[in-house]
Amino acid sequence: MSQSSLVSEIIRLKKERKAVILAHNYQLPEVQDIADFVGDSLGLSIEAATTDAKTIIFCGVHFMAETAKILSPGKTVLLPDLNAGCPMADMITARDVQELRRQYPKHTFLCYVNTSAAVKAECDLCCTSANARSMVRDIASAGGKVVFVPDKHLAGYAAATTGCDIVAWQGFCPTHARITPEDVLRQKERHPEAVVLAHPECSPEVRGLAREVVSTEIMCHYAHNMNAGEFIIATEIGILHRLRKENPAKRFYPASEEALCPNMKLTTLEKIRLSLEEMLHPVTLDRDTLFRAKKCIRRMLEYRS
């Protein structure tokens, strides 16, 4: 099937199924272009919680589709490719959290949204890269101490910018780990006027070279509103499509071409079509996990940044 027939077929099936297509900023260009909403983890969660569509086609990775299901348990949430996981989310299990709880019984357990529902069910609160700092600050100002899982880099960034002590699990994103300070410096040399924007999943050395350290959605916002014409982007390269589309007069350079998340590229138009036609692959969660994970996630949506 040609790309244009695939697109027409998806639009037809979407109407029939009363479905909405949500896509993360790292998705393939053609997937972003067909989506009803493109955004970061926080924006996608808010959209999933508020849409009146009956079915959500989630173009992202597994934990994102699971989060949508937790927030909208009455809806059918479909993940077009079941193999689209997140290696960072897989770096911690519910058992690991239970063990940590024994070591830090009085700490507040804050998990990154990049975790399984089973891990969320064991934690107290959940955040995204857009609101981790505010949540850490609020826990600390109420006298609490934080254990953060699983991303050591987001934990380090939140600790450094809030001044709070954080016990961090040593997980990380393998895609962001491919971006080195040398990559950024090389691009800086080539484009001396360019503003560096980095994601908090980057190493502290890379973050140290950035003007702003922000979630993918806030990155799009800065790129659009900053009075600058060139940017070096230190995050997964899928975001370049949206940045260039929304800012045709500006120039965007990837910090590293190697920063490609293979899981984010598994969703294709053909798989979206098949998913809509055959209702593949619905996210299911047992009632107890869903209930406990929802308690953990509840407050995440109240923190916009």
Q: List interacting residues with ligand 13P (CB under 6 A).
A: 25, 40-41, 86, 114, 128-129, 173, 199, 201, 215-216
Closer residue to ligand SF4, CB minimum distance, 107 or 169: 169
- In whole angstroms, give the CA distance from residue 99 to residue 101: 5
- DSSP strand pairing (55-59 vs 108-112): unpaired
- For residues 199, 200, 205 and 207, what is the CA-based torsion angle, rounded to 10 degrees? 60
Q: Using the rule CB under 6 A, is 55 a contact of ligand SF4?
A: no
C-beta of residue 261 within 8 angstroms of C-beta of residue 24: no
Q: Using the rule CB under 6 A, is 175 a contact of ligand SF4?
A: yes
- In whole angstroms, give the CA distance from residue 301 to residue 194: 33
The single-letter code of the amino acid at 222 is Y
Q: Using the rule CB under 6 A, is 232 a contact of ligand SF4?
A: no
User: Which 101-130 positions form the footprint of ligand SF4 (CB under 6 A)?
Assistant: 114
Q: Using the rule CB under 6 A, is 173 a contact of ligand SF4?
A: yes
Among ligand SF4, ligand 13P, none, residue 111 binds (CB under 5-8 Å by kind): none
Distances (CA, A) of 293 to 117, 126, 139, 171: 6, 9, 19, 20
- In whole angstroms, give the CA distance from residue 218 to residue 79: 25
159: tokens are 């600790």
184: tokens are 């950024």
| Minimum separation from the CB atom of position 289 to ligand 13P (A) | 21
Among ligand SF4, ligand 13P, none, residue 263 binds (CB under 5-8 Å by kind): ligand SF4
Closer residue to ligand SF4, CB minimum distance, 138 or 180: 180
- In whole angstroms, give the CA distance from residue 139 to residue 202: 24
Among ligand 13P, ligand SF4, none, residue 25 binds (CB under 5-8 Å by kind): ligand 13P
| Minimum separation from the CB atom of position 65 to ligand 13P (A) | 12
Kindly state the number of chain residues that form the binding site for ligand SF4, as judged by CB under 6 A.
13
Q: Using the rule CB under 6 A, is 61 a contact of ligand SF4?
A: yes
Closer residue to ligand SF4, CB minimum distance, 63 or 252: 63
242: tokens are 């949206």
Task: Write out the residues near ligand SF4 by the rule CB under 6 A.
Answer: 61, 86-88, 114, 173-175, 201, 236, 261, 263-264
